[in-house]
Structure 1
Amino acid sequence: MTEKIGVLGKKSPQRTGVERVVNAPLPTVYGKFQAVGYLDHDRGDEQVALVYGELGTDDVLIRLHSECLTGDAFGSQHCECGDQLDAALRAVVAEGAGVVVYLRGHEGRGIGLLAKLRAMALQAEGLDTVEANLALGLPVDARDYGVAARILDDLGVKSVRLMSNNPRKRDALVSHGIKVAEQVPLLIPPCENNITYLRTKRERLDHHLPHLDAVVSSS
């Protein structure tokens, strides 16, 4: 972990609108993390990076996790978000060091909780996740990863091993000056309730989900 993490109460310079506000120890069922809290002055969102171990600058194992109340807190099987968060936290502990940046304001790929629930209702009527967003007059994916890049920069991270199946996350980090040395698959076995959603993510949103091949071929 960088020296800045060890200095409680020290705030980051507001170079790009993101201010480090607090560091706090966070014991979890996975291990003991440091919860590093940030304020995004541009959007007004409060963000948190869960840091485990002593971070280096290069090839740091990370996850950019988009907030998902239904999956992360309620265990929804409509998506695989909760299982991905669990897997990512376990992975950084097994690695000995790493970061999970939990991105608030990303609910429903950036459309918000109520709009996401409306989209889920439309999906229950037969639309896929892309069609549902468009039917509501909303963007398919409105997420911005600039704040994540600025948080990583504040933590001293220059290059990462990114746990994600989404090539757009990789492209976004690179565009904001963070080198992606490797994209690490984070594949969760599908279930009956999310297989259609996952197929749509692969076919229409370019997610790399090769583990669906066996499921698709047998259906």
Structure 2
Amino acid sequence: MNIEKSTIANLPTKYGKFKIRAYKQDNQEHLAIMSKNFEDIEAPYVRVHSECLTGDTLGSLKCDCQNQLDLALKFISKEGGLVIYHRQEGRNIGLLNKVNAYALQDQGRNTIEANLELGFGEDDRDYSVVEEVFKDLNLNKIKLITNNPEKIKYVESLGIEIVERIPAITKANNHNKNYINTKKEQMGHMF
């Protein structure tokens, strides 16, 4: 796999001071957002956060993505660790298809039904760049911030020890109740 990486730069944010490194895989660019003390932690907290432009940037209430990212950045800033900003929009169907999936959801489909109707899988994300980030940052033991059992399985398949799983629980609203229920009931997310 051909992964290009940037140098490490400082990133002061409203959450605190971080260091960042970008990773380029084919036409996708991902970020590692590290606390200042990241290298000093034996088993850092790690969140693999999948990009959600509509949630993360625009504040969409159809999902819990922005709330989970906000929670993770606050937590990592305080406790130390890493957020991998995994740029695979809409479970890797892309922004255009995600908006098409939104339109199908407006007609009553859930996220899985919408993806399938558009000709995609339930979840088409490829986590191979995450493995490269773990290798690059010499991670072999982590505390994983996730509700997603597939992320747990993937990390364990890399030989990374998950010392602890921290749930990423946020408050549901009228617009994302069905989204969260679909993740829980059909995708096995642990809330």
Q: Which aligned pairs between 1:52-71 and structure 2 lie closer than 5 A?
A: 52-54=35-37, 55-56=39-40, 58-71=42-55
CA offsets, 1:53-74, max 9 Å, x none? 2224632101001010000000
Q: Which aligned pairs between 1:1-219 and structure 2 lie closer than 5 A?
A: 16-40=1-25, 43-54=26-37, 55-56=39-40, 58-95=42-79, 97-104=80-87, 106-209=88-191
Q: Secondary structure at the match of 2:7?
A: strand
For the pair shown, which has the larger CA radius of gyration, 1 or 2?
A: 1
Give 1:113's aligned amino acid. Answer: L
Give 1:86's aligned amino acid. Answer: D
| TM, length-normalised to structure 1 | 0.83
Give 1:115's aligned amino acid. Answer: N
Count of aligned positions: 190
**How high is the sequence identity, in percent, across the aligned residues?**
41
Give 2:66's aligned amino acid. Answer: G
**Separation of aligned partners in 2, 1:111 and 1:39:** 18
Confirm or deny: 8 A CA contact 1:64 1:102 kept in the other structure: yes
Unaligned regions of 5+ residues in structure 1, if any? 1-15, 210-219
Give 1:99's aligned amino acid. Answer: L
| TM, length-normalised to structure 2 | 0.95
Give 1:100's aligned amino acid. Answer: V
Q: Stretches of 4+ moved more than 3 A in 1?
A: none
**RMSD (CA atoms):** 1.2
Confirm or deny: 8 A CA contact 2:41 2:81 kept in the other structure: no
Q: Secondary structure at the match of 2:6?
A: strand
